[in-house]
Structure 1
Amino acid sequence: MDLPTTSAPLLGWTFDGTLRTYQTEVLERIPVGTVGPLHVVAPPGSGKTLLGLLLATREGDRALVLAPTVTIRQQWVRTAESLAPTPASVSDDPERISDLTVMTYQLLSVTGDGSPFDDLARAVWAEELIATGRTEADAATWLAELAVDSPAAYRSGIRSRVRRLRRRFARRNPDELARVLHPNAVALIDRLVDAGVRTVILDECHHLLDHWALVVAYLAGRIRERGGSPRLIGLTATLPSPDDEAEYENYTQLLGEVDYEVPTPAVVKEGHLAPYRDHVMVIEPTPAEISFIRHHEERLHDLVMQLLTTPDAVSYLERQLQPEDEDEDEPGAGAEALLERAFANDFPLTRSCAVVLRVVQPQHPLLAAIPPLLLDRCTSEDLLIVLTRFAQTRLLGNPDAHRQWDYVRRALADFGYMLTDRGLRRGRDPLDTTLAYSAAKDHAAVEILRLELESEDADRVRAVVVTDFVEHGNSRGMIGDAAAGALRAFELLAADPVTVRLNPVLVTAQHLRASAGDAADLAAELTDLLAEPVLVREGSGPTREMRGPGIGSGRMVAALSELIRRGRIRLLVGTRGLLGEGWDCPAVNTLIDLTAVATSSATQQLRGRTLRLDPEWPDKVAHNWSVACLIPSQVDLDDTTEPRRLRRKHSHLWGPSADGDGSIVSGLGHALPPSAMQAFDRVLDKDPAASVADVEAFLAESRPTRTQTRRQWHIGEPYLSHERESVRIQRVPHAPLLHTARAAGAGSIGAFITGTAIAGGLVALVDVLGALSIPLVGGLALALLCGVGAAVAAAVPVLGRALRDRRRPAEVYRNAAVAIARTLHEAGRISPIDESTIRALRQDGDRVRIEVGGEQRDRAMVADAVEELFGPVRTPRFLLQTGRAESGRMRLSERIADRLSPGRTLLPIPRAIARRRADAELLHRHWQRLIGPCALHEFQGAAGLALLRVARSSEGRLDGTESRTRIWG
Structure 2
Amino acid sequence: MNESLGRLEFNFPWRSYQANLLRNFDRHISDNHFHVIAPPGSGKTILGIEIIRRLGEKTLVLAPTLTIRNQWEDRLQSFFTKSKAYESHSFNIKSPHDITFATYQSLHAFYKTFEDKNDYYSFFEEHNIKTLVLDEAHHLKNEWWNCLIDLKNNNPFFVVALTATPPYDSNRTEVSKYFTLCGEIDDEIAVPDLVREADLCAHQDFVYFSKPEGLEINFIVEYRQKIADFKDKLLNDDVFVSFIKQHRFFNQPEACLEELYSNAEYFSAILIFLNACGVAVERHKLEILGFNKKETITFPTLELEWLEVLFQNLLVDDRERLLKSEPYLLSLEKELRKIHVFEKRKVNFIGEELLYKSLASSPSKLKSIVSIVASEHESLNSDLRCVVLTDYIRKEFLNTDDNKIQTVNKIGVIPVFQYLRAYFLNKEALAVVSGSLVIIHKAILEAFNLIENCDHFSFTPLQVDNAFLTVGSKKKTKNSIVSIITELFENGDIKVLVGTKSLLGEGWDAPSINSLILASFVGSFVSSNQMRGRAIRKDPDQLNKTGNIWHLACVDSTVLNGGRDVDILRRRFEAFVGVSNSNRPYIENSFERLQFPEQILEEDVETLNLQTLKNANNRNNIIKKWNNAIVKGTHLTKEIKIYHLGEIAYKKQKRIYYFDAVRFFVAELSFTILLFYLEFILKNTHVVLSRGMTYFLYTFLTALLVSFGYKLYKAVTLYMRYGFLDKKIKKMGEVILNTLFELGFMTTDMSSIRIESKRIDNGDIVCDLLGSNPFENSLFSNALSEIIEPVKSPRYLIVKTNLFRRRLNIENFYSVPEIFGDKKANALVFQKYWRINLGRNKLFYTRHVEGRKLLLKARLFHVYNAFKKVSKQVVVWR
- Determine which of 507, 522, 543 is the counterpart of 1:618: 543
What do residues 482-526 of structure 1 show as CA deviations (whole Å, max 9, x unaligned)?
A: 34322222211221145x457221211122234xxxx22234433
For residues 419 and 726 of structure 1, what CA distance do their matches in structure 2 show? 36
Tell me if 1:450 matches 2:367. no
CA distance in 1, matches of 2:158, 2:250: 63
Alpha-carbon distance between aligned partners in 2 of 1:521 and 1:822, rounded to the nearest angstrom: 66
Q: Distance in 1 between matches of 2:147 and 2:797?
A: 50
Tell me whether 1:471 sits opposite 2:394 in the alignment: yes
For residue 610 of structure 1, give the secondary structure of its aligned residue in structure 2: coil
Please say if residues 873 and 952 of structure 1, whose CA atoms lie closer than 8 Å, have aligned partners that are also in contact. Answer: no
How many matched pairs? 761
The structure with the largest alpha-carbon Rg is 1
Q: Counterparts of 1:558 and 1:708 in 2: how far apart (Å)? A: 33
The TM-score with structure 1 as length reference comes to: 0.65
What displacement does 1:655 show?
Answer: 0.8
Q: Deviations over 1:606-631 (max 9, x none)?
A: 11101221122101111112122231
- Counting only pairs closer than 5 Å after superposition, residues 317-716 of structure 1 correspond to structure 2 as 317=244, 323-324=250-251, 346-355=267-276, 357=277, 378-389=302-313, 391=315, 396-398=323-325, 400-401=327-328, 404=331, 407-408=334-335, 410-411=337-338, 414-415=340-341, 417-419=343-345, 429-455=353-379, 457-471=380-394, 481-498=408-425, 500-501=426-427, 503-514=429-440, 519-531=441-453, 532-540=456-464, 544-550=468-474, 555-597=480-522, 599-633=524-558, 641-670=564-593, 672-673=594-595, 676-680=596-600, 692=605, 696=609, 705-714=618-627
Distance 2:84 2:852 in 1: 76
Please report how far the alpha carbon of residue 587 of structure 1 lies from its aligned counterpart in structure 2 after TM superposition.
0.5
The amino acid across from 2:103 in the alignment is: Y
Which residue in 1 is equivalent to 2:682? Answer: none
1:235 maps onto 2:150 in alignment? no
In the other structure, the counterpart of 1:59 is 55
Q: Does structure 2 conserve the Cα–Cα contact (< 8 Å) formed by 1:827 and 1:919?
A: no
Paired AA for residue 21 in structure 1: S
Q: What is the CA-CA distance between 1:295 and the residue it aligns to? A: 2.9
Match of 2:40 among 44, 49, 52: 44
Q: Residues 282 and 692 of structure 1 are in contact (CA less than 8 Å); yes or no, is this contact kept in structure 2?
A: yes
Secondary structure of the 1:79 match is helix
Q: Which amino acid aligns with 1:18?
A: P
CA distance in 1 between partners of 2:68 and 2:163 (Å): 13
Cα shift at 1:859 = 4.1
Tell which deviates more after alignment, 46-55 or 73-82.
Answer: 73-82
Name the CA distance, whole Å, in 2 between partners of 1:368 and 1:37.
Answer: 57
Letter in 1 for 2:101: M
Q: Distance in 2 between matches of 1:310 and 1:543?
A: 65
- The secondary structure found in structure 2 opposite 1:548 is strand
101 and 406 in structure 1: CA distance in 2 versus 1, 3 angstrom threshold = same
Change (3 A) 1:860 1:643: farther
Aligned residue in 2 for 1:267:
194
Give TM-score scaled by structure 2 length: 0.71
TM-superposed deviation, 1:815: 3.1
In 2 relative to 1, CA 950–88 (structure 1 residues): closer, same or farther, beyond 3 Å? closer
Amino acid aligned to 2:220: I
1:725 aligns with 2:639: yes
- The one-character-per-residue Cα deviations of 1:11-56 (angstroms, maximum 9, x if unpaired) are 2333342111121122211129856243333112111232222222
Q: How does 1:947-962 map to 2 (within 5 A)?
A: none
Matched to 1:255, the amino acid is C
Could you tell me which runs of 5 or more consecutive residues in structure 2 were left unpaired when the two chains were aligned.
256-262, 287-294, 397-404, 645-649, 663-719, 845-849
- For the residue of structure 1 that corresponds to 2:598, the secondary structure is helix
Task: Return the alpha-carbon distance in structure 2 between the equivalents of residues 327 and 319 of structure 1.
Answer: 14
Give yes or no for contact 1:561–1:585 (8 Å, CA) kept in 2. yes
* DSSP-derived class of the 1:265 partner: helix
Specify every segment of 5 or more residues in structure 1 that has no aligned partner in the other structure, as ranges.
Answer: 1-5, 125-171, 179-185, 329-341, 358-363, 684-688, 741-804, 891-902
Q: How much is the aligned-residue C-alpha RMSD, in angstroms? A: 5.4
Pick closer, same or farther for the CA change 1:99–1:376 going to 2, 3 Å: closer
| Correspondence list, 1:696-845, <5 A | 696=609, 705-714=618-627, 720-727=634-641, 733=654, 735=657, 812-813=727-728, 815-821=730-736, 825=740, 834=750, 836-841=753-758, 843-844=760-761
User: Using a 3 Å threshold, how does the CA distance of structure 1 residues 274 and 505 change in structure 2: closer, same or farther?
Assistant: same
Q: Note if contact 2:201-2:538 (Cα within 8 Å) is conserved in structure 1.
A: yes
Over residues 464-485 of structure 1, what are the superposed CA-to-partner deviations in whole Å (9 max), with x where a residue is unaligned?
1111222399xxxx99653432
Match of 1:909 among 800, 808, 814: 814
Aligned to 2:675: none
> How far apart, CA to CA, are the structure 1 residues paired with 2:153 and 2:799?
53
Output the CA distance in 2 between the equivalents of 1:889 and 1:293.
Answer: 47
**CA offset at residue 562 of structure 1?**
1.2
**Whole-Å Cα distance in 2 between the matches of residues 10 and 90 of structure 1?**
11
Q: Report 1:275-294 matches (<5 A).
A: 275-294=202-221
2:766 aligned residue (828, 846, 849)? 849
Amino acid in the other structure paired with 1:726: I
| Contact 2:300–2:864, Cα closer than 8 Å, also in 1 | no
Residues 638 and 873 in structure 2, CA contact (< 8 A), matched pair in contact too: no
Distance in 2, matches of 1:922 and 1:221, equals 33
Q: Deviations over 1:824-856 (max 9, x none)?
A: 659979769958331124544766432135465
8 Å CA contact 1:417–1:429 kept in 2: the answer is no
Does residue 875 of structure 2 align to residue 966 of structure 1?
yes
Structure 1 CA distance, aligned partners of 2:839 and 2:382?
Answer: 62
**Residues 639 and 719 (structure 1 numbering): CA distance in 2 closer, same or farther, change over 3 Å?**
closer
Does the 8 Å CA contact 1:815/1:930 hold for their aligned counterparts?
no
Residue identity opposite 1:968 in structure 2:
W
Using a 3 Å threshold, how does the CA distance of structure 1 residues 703 and 344 change in structure 2: closer, same or farther?
closer
Distance in 1 between the 2:568 and 2:447 partners?
40
Q: 1:952 Cα shift?
A: 6.1
Report 1:28-177 matches (<5 A): 28-31=23-26, 34=30, 36-81=32-77, 82-84=79-81, 87-90=84-87, 101=99, 103-105=101-103, 108-111=106-109, 173=118, 175=119
Q: Which residue of 2 aligns with 1:149?
A: none
Displacement of 1:108: 3.9
SS state at 1:15 partner:
coil
Change (3 A) 1:906 1:454: farther
Letter in 1 for 2:727: V
| Aligned-residue offset at 1:293 | 1.8
User: Aligned partners of 2:33, 2:90: CA distance in 1, in Å?
Assistant: 26
Cα offset for 1:243?
A: 2.7
Could you report, residue by residue, the CA deviation over 1:772-797 in whole angstroms, capped at 9, with x for unpaired residues? xxxxxxxxxxxxxxxxxxxxxxxxxx
Q: CA deviation at 1:94?
A: 5.1
Q: Which residue of 2 aligns with 1:27?
A: 22
Equivalent-residue separation in structure 2 for 1:345 and 1:247 (angstroms): 26
Residue 584 of structure 1: how far off its partner (Å): 0.4
Counterpart in the other structure of 2:674: none
| SS of the residue 1:285 aligns to | coil
